[in-house]
Amino acid sequence: MTDSFDRTIDYVRIAVTDRCNLRCFYCMPAEGIPYEPKAHLLSYEEITRLLQVLGTLGFRKVRFTGGEPFLRKDFMQLLENTAGIDDFKSIHITSNGTLLQRHIPRLKELGITKINLSIDSLDKARFQKITRRDDFEKVMQTFHMLVDNGFKIKLNAVIMKGINTQDIIPLAELAKDYPVDVRFIEEMPFNGGYKENLEMYSARDIYADLKAHFSDMEKLPGKHGDTASLLSVPGYKGNIGVIAAFSRTFCNTCNRLRISSKGEIKSCLYDDGVFNIRDFMRSGVTDLELADKFRELIQLKPKDGFEAEKLRKAPKAAMQSMSSIGG
């Protein structure tokens, strides 16, 4: 499907839960965030149905995210269902890595091997300060288990001024010894009210740090839907990417639709939800009606994230938590 700006939309990101066992400060407040009641979340049968319909519209890639997707009890069931949908051969998961170790054998059997693991620091104390939890060793153990089992890992790190800029080079150097792609992400203002005006450490700043250290790094050509500017360092097993998530320089190649845990469709990360597909489904519509609704929603995709932000009706972006949007 193409949208009104002639972009091919074939990638859906679904937040399967708004719950999380970590409390990364850039994402969620330490406490007091109201979780959605279970009945408000899309059931795994509803998510499977949405994927089946999206498959008929040409969607080929899905990412399950959250909150922490492995907190959801029926998550493996959802993955099994999804692996059975022919149209979705590209199944991805974004996880904090604290709960997935025991699922590694089954994930391998299902052929679900593309995992984004969020690690913002290689320093235990800094990791703990950022996530407000003491899970550094467990997450690093998960990282090594995934590498040893041949998973295709992308490591996500949100870079924040005065917090973890010193981690940029050590994290990038993981791509030397391991076949992992490292992604540095600009902080965005979706933190559940922690801070409205961010002190930006921009994609440009991150790039400058990388360039100062890796003088021989080269730019790689982008692929369909890439949000990262990709870089390679000669001899490194993985590549390095910088995602201008706040500067929003990649909107002209956007290929995605987001569905929040309670079924809000976001046609752009920066909009405030354009339609509730859960309520629409629960009203008893047919698959054809669902497909038509998606066609209509895809045409509503704004030109870019700045446009989407202008159209917001709900409170400012910073009041929302990324845990309900999925990143």
> Which of ligand SAM, ligand SF4, none sits in contact with 164, Cβ below 5 to 8 A by type?
none
Taking CA atoms, 182 is separated from 30, 39, 146, 247, in Å, by 27, 36, 15, 19
Q: Are strands 256-259 and 264-266 parallel, antiparallel or unpaired?
A: antiparallel
Q: Give DSSP secondary structure letters for 16-36.
A: --S--S---TTTS-SS-PPPP
Q: Name the helix (H) or strand (E) containing 81.
A: helix 75-83
Residues found near ligand SAM in the complex (CB under 6 A): 20, 26-27, 65-68, 94-96, 118, 156, 158, 185, 187-188, 190-191, 245, 322-323, 326-327
> Which of ligand SAM, ligand SF4, none sits in contact with 263, Cβ below 5 to 8 A by type?
none
- Taking a C-beta distance cutoff of 8 angstroms, is the pair 169, 215 a contact? no
As measured in angstroms, the least distance from the Cβ of 57 to ligand SAM is 25
Q: What amino acid is encoded at 253 in this protein?
A: T
- Measured between alpha carbons, how far is 15 from 222 in angstroms, rounded to an integer? 26
The answer to the question of residue 67 lying near ligand SF4 (CB under 6 A) is: yes
101-130 binders of ligand SF4 (CB under 6 A)? 118
Answer for which of 10, 68, 186, 209 binds ligand SF4 (CB under 6 A) is 68
Which residue is nearest to ligand SAM, using beta carbons?
327
As measured in angstroms, the least distance from the Cβ of 95 to ligand SF4 is 8
Number of Cβ atoms within 10 Å of the Cβ of 254: 24
291-320 binders of ligand SF4 (CB under 6 A)? none
Taking CA atoms, 124 is separated from 12, 23, 31, 260, 287, in Å, by 33, 15, 22, 31, 48
133-192 binders of ligand SF4 (CB under 6 A)? none
> Which of ligand SAM, ligand SF4, none sits in contact with 23, Cβ below 5 to 8 A by type?
ligand SF4
For ligand SF4, the closer of residues 267 and 321 by Cβ is 321
Contact code string over 11-30 relative to ligand SF4, x by CB under 6 A: ---------x-xxx--xx--
As measured in angstroms, the least distance from the Cβ of 19 to ligand SF4 is 9
Taking the alpha carbons at both ends of the chain, their separation in whole angstroms is 23
Question: 156 CB contacts (<8 Å, ≥6 apart)?
Answer: 94, 116, 117, 118, 119, 183, 185, 327
- Measured between alpha carbons, how far is 110 from 126 in angstroms, rounded to an integer? 35
Q: Are strands 90-95 and 61-65 parallel, antiparallel or unpaired?
A: parallel
> Which of ligand SF4, ligand SAM, none sits in contact with 28, Cβ below 5 to 8 A by type?
ligand SF4
Q: Which residue has the tokens 């690093």?
A: 140
As measured in angstroms, the least distance from the Cβ of 235 to ligand SAM is 27
> Which of ligand SAM, ligand SF4, none sits in contact with 17, Cβ below 5 to 8 A by type?
none
- At 22, list the tokens: 């970590």
As measured in angstroms, the least distance from the Cβ of 89 to ligand SF4 is 26
> Which of ligand SAM, ligand SF4, none sits in contact with 274, Cβ below 5 to 8 A by type?
none
The answer to the question of residue 322 lying near ligand SF4 (CB under 6 A) is: yes
Q: Are strands 181-186 and 218-219 parallel, antiparallel or unpaired?
A: unpaired
Answer for which of 96, 239, 267, 324 binds ligand SF4 (CB under 6 A) is 96
